[in-house]
Amino acid sequence: MPKDTSIRSVLIIGSGPIIIGQACEFDYSGTQASRSLREEGIEVSLINSNPATIMTDEVTADNIYLWPLTIESLEKILKERQIDAVLPTMGGQTALNLAIEAEKTGIWKKYNVKMIGVDVEAIELAEDRDLFRHHVVKLGLTVAPSRIANSFLEGMEAAQEIGFPLVIRPSFTLGGTGGGFVHKREEFDESLRRGLDASPTHEVLVEKAVLGWKEFELELLRDKNDNVTIICTVENLDPMGIHTGDSITVAPAMTLSDTAYQRMRDQAILLMRSMGNFAGGCNVQFAMNPVNEDLIVVEINPRVSRSSALASKATGYPIAKIAAKLAIGYTLDELNNQITKTTSAFFEPSLDYVIVKMPRWNFEKFHGADPTLGLQMKSVGEVMAIGRSFLEALQKACQSLENNRAGLGADKKEWMRTEDILQRLETASDDRIFRIRDAIRLGVPVKTLHKLTHIDPWFLNQIKRMEDAESRLFRYNVAEDIPADFFRELKSMGYSDAQIAWTMRISEEEVTRRRKALGIIRSYKMVDTCAAEFEAQTPYYYSTFDGENESIVSDKKKIIVLGSGPNRIGQGIEFDYCCVHGLLAIKEAGYEAIMVNCNPETVSTDFDIADKLYFEPVYWEHLEEILDLEKPEGVIVQLGGQTALKLAELIHKKGIPIIGTSYDDMDIAEDRGRFSDLLRDLDIPYPKYGVARDTDEALVVANTVTYPVLVRPSYVLGGQRMRIVINDEELERHVLSIFKHLPDNKVLIDQFLERAKEAEIDGIYDGEQFHIMGIMEHIEPAGIHSGDSSAVLPTYSLSQNVVDQMAIYAERLAMALKIKGLINIQFAIKGETVYVIEANPRASRTTPFIAKAYKVPYLNIATMVMLGHKKLKDFSIAKNLKGYAIKVPVFSFNKFPHVDKSLGPEMKSTGEAIQFIDDLTDPFFRELDRNRYVYLTR
């Protein structure tokens, strides 16, 4: 019998708000699982407190519970709905922990619910370091020498026995929280104490650190018949010592012989089969001694994990989708490869390209945070890049990061001082790969680099090839001098035109012009799971400089949606939600929907959401060639956050229509000067402000505006480097720091409205009618970034007069900006006066929250309006909310023990939850309200 027919209704548990170590990859897996189960005619219920997820949308599941992830919520669901089985492996550690807790309280049994896709004993075995160690040894495999400690004394004893360097790993924590390396005796006490504190069971493992060993990860799938297949093998460029979430990783493995690999594969399979008998996904990590190829088992995750999302995007094999089918009883040989549709799902994908995953950090958001990388994950997002060689993929990944880099070096961001560079190599931090490149340029030998970083010489030698290429390029004076073959080779190595231009000190336009004249343009290859052995039906493409272009352009009218690149603070999962809905609406309107993005954690880059997917950097040079090839009717930039919006100007200049609000009108909203002029003309109050190009100007402006003032660089995201300052001295210091870090920028100085209330409106305008999606009132006073404030929908304390004024101003602005689609307007309210602080002519962080709270498909409506396919009057919009919905920010401060946790105008939260309350007497609301001034320290 192929599947368990007793399962007709399944509950999937989500992973809750985004935190470091548990991000939107679990929205991707949960969404895939839900769609996969619904395909089988199963009714899917979903619980998740994160409103920005696509999994909690009506397009994904049958019954949605935007409730806190607690036992009480589970029981409430089980009371009101017949649930046959619960699938807890799609929502990370959070979902697993909740399911295990529920198991212990007996509620699954009480309501006759089967846990599927998981084996509690396997989970506990994997999580309990000591049990796991013994288990591995019993199988005849090797682990690093270690001892368990439940007390300070035991920890000290263990350290004495094992010696330094060592690792402290707390049991039952997420993303390495509380763990760390201890290189010297002096660092030990504090680390041990932190580890013991972090563990809910006051237990740590003190383990020998195999620093510098090579690190590999295998992604496995197993079915109920114990058939196992390896979906992907990933090699960490950063060897043992850096959390895999913070490592640059590469697939397929680059430096692994078949003999070494097969031993690893055998061990991984042996391990998985030895851990209970669950059907689903699993991830095993190994360390390999580079000298004799000895293997050590590092850990096993018997569930879908962050790396499964990456492996799915890297290979095209949808792990969560298949894992969900295995959980309900299918075996792998009964299922088809979802990409070819004709071959078996029981196989091991073969790659004829290289992928590089690069983490994205946000240390600039956490003042005082230690940027050193280690056991504990610190990155907030990641990018993946695909190329036909390691170097091409590596450079594309650099172009995807949105750190203003044109690739790996060869741009104006290079470091020059050898001492600084070498110091950064020894202690790895977020910029290490760039420093390696700098060191090679300055002539540091690969041997030394290897000694400092332990990175495999193969990777270092590949990077060194860039140096050879650049010294050859250096010989030419103008673009016309570059021989065509060499030009093509440079492009195959991933060089952007900007890098070539910088190396030759000529203009980028000159390089691009010459390149196109030589006919050196990108071709597109398919990600097909099978290295072209079989014909694939899936339109999932990446660019390279190679012969044949496989991306056949259809004769349908096309709309391109630009994604938002890597997740970071201020721009995350909410834009993935928006893009998914945008794509679905575009299809519904009869166009071909094309997605462009480079974030492997997203649902919008799942191969069957858009009609066509280009997994490419959201970087102009790449985008331009997609536009040249596809010739779309237009591009939607409103759904991909600031990243997409930033590209509007170039798209517009190229003559490709921006769908929705025009580039010029968006620019009015973005440009502080033009925007203030508009507000003045519209008779809308706004805080006094000024623009300064240097410190002297800043002092003049600040004194005209009068202190306290809000200081920030123009064109930044999530309030980066935004401060409130109260006197000349502070102003000077901060303005200098802005110019140091962001040269060629302008500084905006706004009057800070002390003790004002803040509110925001999200709305849709179609040229005739303005619809207010929602008005939110912030609980905390002005001064805290809107992303970090708790927002109540609808308003709860503002007067009717104020609310009316906001609505009038919002409509006036939408009309004046000729908005076609979405707009978000932020207000400050002092007394009965309403000031407009800013307007964003795009989907905002709160758009999904409002759509969820009111149960209105706002993104569909907005996209239809942008396309001109429908008008607001064509929809009957019925808001459905009893009481209030509160958006609550969630922080990941525990990853940064020494960081300043006070909130201010710079956003620091990584995620959000939604909480519904009936009225203002609700204790949850009262608690928030009582603490509204607590965070305001300046």
Partner 1 sequence: MTTKEPKPAVLILANGSIYRGKAAGITGTTTGEICFNTGMTGYQEIFTDPSYFGQVMVTTNAHIGNYGIKNDDEESGKVQIAGLVCKNFTNEFSRAMADEDIQQYFEEQKIVCIHGVDTREIVREIRTLGAMNCIISSESDDIEQLKKQLAEVPDMSGLELSSKVSTLEPYDLGDPAADIKIAVMDYGTKRNILRNFVNRNCYCRVFPAKTSLAEINQFNPDAYFLSNGPGDPAAMDYAVNTVKEMLATGKPVFGICLGHQILALANGIDTYKMHHGHRGINHPVKNLVTGKCEITSQNHGFAVDAEQIENHADVEVTHVNLNDASIEGLRLKSKPAFSVQYHPEAAPGPHDAQYLFDQFVDLINQAKNN
Residues at the site binding partner 1, with contacts judged by CB under 8 A: 225-227, 229-230, 233, 252-259, 261-262, 265-266, 290-293, 331-333, 342-344, 346-354, 388-390, 456-458, 461-462, 465, 468-469, 471-472, 486, 489, 525, 530-535, 546-548, 550
Smallest gap from residue 385 Cβ to partner 1 (A): 13
Coil, strand or helix at 842? coil
User: Angle between the 188-198 and 152-162 helix axes, to the nearest 10 degrees?
Assistant: 130
Smallest gap from residue 399 Cβ to partner 1 (A): 19
Nearer Cβ to partner 1, position 230 or 792?
230
Nearer Cβ to partner 1, position 259 or 880?
259
**Are the beta carbons of 365 and 720 closer than 8 angstroms?**
yes
Beta-ladder partners of 597: 615
Using CA atoms, how far residue 720 sits from 367, 406, 738, 911, in Å, is 11, 21, 10, 17
Burial of 1 (0-12, 13-18, 19+ CB in 10 A): exposed
Report how far residue 775's alpha carbon sits from residue 826's, in angstroms, rounded to the nearest whole number.
10
Smallest gap from residue 657 Cβ to partner 1 (A): 34
Residue type, 732: E
Nearer Cβ to partner 1, position 259 or 921?
259
Smallest gap from residue 358 Cβ to partner 1 (A): 18
Residue with tokens 């030009």: 487
Nearer Cβ to partner 1, position 265 or 522?
265
Measure the CA dihedral 498/499/501/507, to 10°.
Answer: 20
Beta-ladder partners of 216: 235, 286
Instruction: Mark out the alpha helices in 563-717 (DSSP H runs).
Output: 573-588, 620-630, 641-646, 648-653, 663-670, 672-681, 695-705
Please list, residue by residue across 395-427, b when 16 or more beta carbons sit within 10 angstroms of its beta carbon and e when fewer do: bbbbbbbbeebbbbbbbeebbeeeeebbebbee
Residue with tokens 């209030």: 884
**Are the beta carbons of 93 and 16 closer than 8 angstroms?**
no
Nearer Cβ to partner 1, position 65 or 495?
495
Smallest gap from residue 604 Cβ to partner 1 (A): 26
Nearer Cβ to partner 1, position 390 or 925?
390
Smallest gap from residue 304 Cβ to partner 1 (A): 21
Other C-beta atoms closer than 10 Å to the C-beta of 471 total: 11
Compute the 3-state secondary structure of the chain and give helix, strand, coil in percent, each to the nearest 5: 35, 20, 40
Instruction: Return left, alpha or beta for 276; rule: phi > 0 is left, psi -120 to 50 is alpha, else beta.
Output: left
Beta-ladder partners of 839: 825
Nearer Cβ to partner 1, position 223 or 906?
223
Strand bridging mode 612-615 / 723-725: unpaired
Smallest gap from residue 270 Cβ to partner 1 (A): 11
Smallest gap from residue 482 Cβ to partner 1 (A): 13
Smallest gap from residue 543 Cβ to partner 1 (A): 13
Burial of 821 (0-12, 13-18, 19+ CB in 10 A): buried
Smallest gap from residue 392 Cβ to partner 1 (A): 9
Smallest gap from residue 551 Cβ to partner 1 (A): 13
Instruction: Quote the DSSP letter at residue 305.
Output: -
Coil, strand or helix at 242? coil
Nearer Cβ to partner 1, position 55 or 520?
520
Nearer Cβ to partner 1, position 462 or 894?
462
Nearer Cβ to partner 1, position 343 or 372?
343
**Are the beta carbons of 718 and 840 closer than 8 angstroms?**
no
Report how far residue 245's alpha carbon sits from residue 239's, in angstroms, rounded to the nearest whole number.
12
Smallest gap from residue 917 Cβ to partner 1 (A): 52
Report how far residue 442's alpha carbon sits from residue 790's, in angstroms, rounded to the nearest whole number.
49
Nearer Cβ to partner 1, position 537 or 902?
537
Measure the CA dihedral 284/289/295/301, to 10°.
Answer: -20
Nearer Cβ to partner 1, position 76 or 224?
224
* Reduced 3-state DSSP string for 698-755: HHHHHHHHCCCEEEEECCCCCCCCCEEECCHHHHHHHHHHHHHHCCCCCEEEEECCCC
Nearer Cβ to partner 1, position 80 or 533?
533
Beta-ladder partners of 770: 765
Nearer Cβ to partner 1, position 292 or 404?
292
Smallest gap from residue 260 Cβ to partner 1 (A): 8
Instruction: Mark out the alpha helices in 316-367 (DSSP H runs).
Output: 319-327
Which residue from 704, 702, 772, 761 is spatially nearest to 732, judged by alpha carbons?
A: 702
Nearer Cβ to partner 1, position 162 or 386?
386
> In this structure, what token pair is assigned to residue 36?
């996969």
Nearer Cβ to partner 1, position 347 or 739?
347
Smallest gap from residue 287 Cβ to partner 1 (A): 15
Residue with tokens 């699938």: 87
Report how far residue 153's alpha carbon sits from residue 204's, in angstroms, rounded to the nearest whole number.
12
Smallest gap from residue 4 Cβ to partner 1 (A): 18
Coil, strand or helix at 93? helix
Nearer Cβ to partner 1, position 313 or 525?
525
Smallest gap from residue 231 Cβ to partner 1 (A): 11
Residue with tokens 């309030």: 719
Using CA atoms, how far residue 124 sits from 22, 173, 307, 507, in Å, is 19, 12, 20, 59
For residue 78, report the phi and psi dihedrals to the nearest 5 degrees: -65, -30
Smallest gap from residue 141 Cβ to partner 1 (A): 15
Smallest gap from residue 859 Cβ to partner 1 (A): 37
Nearer Cβ to partner 1, position 291 or 416?
291
Strand bridging mode 540-544 / 228-236: unpaired
**222: Cα separation from own chain's centroid:** 28
